[in-house]
Structure 1
């Protein structure tokens, strides 16, 4: 049974975004770049077919808060009650606010497990389940290398909308 639309209902959305207007600048670009390098490594090792890699597309996009606001306003369906962009550490278990990664080995493992939980089904459906373990074994040291250079945070947008 389909519920009827609710007039003047409220909705809260939470999703990845980016702080910057440059599409190629941001934490999603960094983390997905590590995934891409890991997949390319599997091609070099002969574990993944190059054509299979070239036909793979991750349907992930992190909009800026300006882009989100523009889409909401253009829809004429919602009033934007509140919107805030904030940052969270790549490592979901690191609640420190400083710019230092205190345990790179642990953080890279936590990040790898988190990204695997998000991407595993997409990757397995395209490449097969057999590459998952080796892919994320390739991924983890790339994340560790990145963390040695900088502690990176995801930009997260939280917005509250009211149906017009």
Structure 2
């Protein structure tokens, strides 16, 4: 039990996107994640609209963005939500409420970049107001705070949140699953993994997602809403095309380095990425078993990745999330990291760019029972 807790803590301490706004940063290499947020905008806005009609008082709306990372994507869903509430208030001749927004991620997240972009966020809110038809409202009173911690733990006081949003975060597990020592030659739940490894990843996901639901149910008001978007798969008999696209080139690159003698085979075999992309059936099973939420909407959304012939953009996207994990396991060697991701770039350019890369995302809209 102690070793399990230690493994879980290690993931919470090392898992974060590459910070800053440089060429390798998540802020500069998260266009695909932005497209998912935009593609799910209608679902998010429908959920907040339904919440607006269901609650009697709207003095303050508390919104949590979980797994917010850093960069322009962090504020995008919040802008969408506030814009929707503004429209509803205008339609009903009501005063715009105050907003309290909480940005959550693990302690290693680059919260500094989030707050550096705060001025831009407030400017965007003012532009929304200027574009409103009647100009009745001043820019909304919106108060922003950061909450550092794993969303697999309690983060907020009881019954205080109205709306929770999370996009492309819940595929990250609280720990590398136990019992996957035989997952050799790859770094995730891949087509070459033994069935026991696939089951272990699925079991860890279900345990983590149930924990997530339990804690959010304690923090949301009755009738509160959640919209969650994550990379997924069509059904439990398929493997995630998102995982394959993002992780298979990295696995191949590491195997090449083993062959070249740059890293030890045992070192690669002990490296596994703590990520799992669920099917709608798996999500439904956990939600119904945990029992705190009812499903308002559950659907898959297909999205195509625009590949570049050079493979540079794809390799940079992988580097933005994978480098901190690699550094923790293989050591802080910049030359080695450059070699790894140059190999990834070549693999994307020579192989993956020729494929029609259509990804399956799963979106679920939930209501607190």
Moved over 3 A (4+): none
Matched-pair contact (CA < 8 Å) for 1:16–1:62: yes
Q: Does 1:151 align with 2:356?
A: yes
Equivalent residue, structure 2, for 1:114: 317
Q: Does 1:123 align with 2:326?
A: yes
Matched-pair contact (CA < 8 Å) for 1:28–1:154: no
TM-score by length of 1: 0.82
Q: Which runs of 5+ in 1 are unaligned?
A: 95-100
Q: Which runs of 5+ in 2 are unaligned?
A: 1-154, 159-218
TM-score by length of 2: 0.39
Task: Provide the C-alpha distance between the structure 2 equivalents of 1:31 and 1:112, rounded to a whole number of angstroms.
Answer: 9
Q: CA offset at residue 116 of structure 1?
A: 1.1
Task: Provide the C-alpha distance between the structure 2 equivalents of 1:156 and 1:25, rounded to a whole number of angstroms.
Answer: 9
Task: Provide the C-alpha distance between the structure 2 equivalents of 1:154 and 1:129, rounded to a whole number of angstroms.
Answer: 32
Task: Provide the C-alpha distance between the structure 2 equivalents of 1:83 and 1:109, rounded to a whole number of angstroms.
Answer: 34
CA radius of gyration, larger in: 2
Q: CA offset at residue 73 of structure 1?
A: 1.2
| SS across alignment from 2:325 | helix
Equivalent residue, structure 2, for 1:3: 157
| SS across alignment from 2:228 | strand
Q: Does 1:40 align with 2:40?
A: no
Query: Please, which of 234, 237, 242 is the counterpart of residue 22 of structure 1?
Result: 237
Task: Provide the C-alpha distance between the structure 2 equivalents of 1:158 and 1:88, rounded to a whole number of angstroms.
Answer: 12
Bigger relative contact order, structure 1 or 2 (CA pairs below 8 A, ≥6 apart): 1
Task: Provide the C-alpha distance between the structure 1 equivalents of 2:367 and 2:296, rounded to a whole number of angstroms.
Answer: 7
Aligned residues: 151
Q: Does 1:65 align with 2:280?
A: yes
Alignment of 1:71-150 (within 5 A): 71-90=286-305, 94=306, 103-105=308-310, 108-130=311-333, 131-144=336-349, 145-148=351-354, 150=355
Task: Provide the C-alpha distance between the structure 2 equivalents of 1:35 and 1:73, rounded to a whole number of angstroms.
Answer: 36
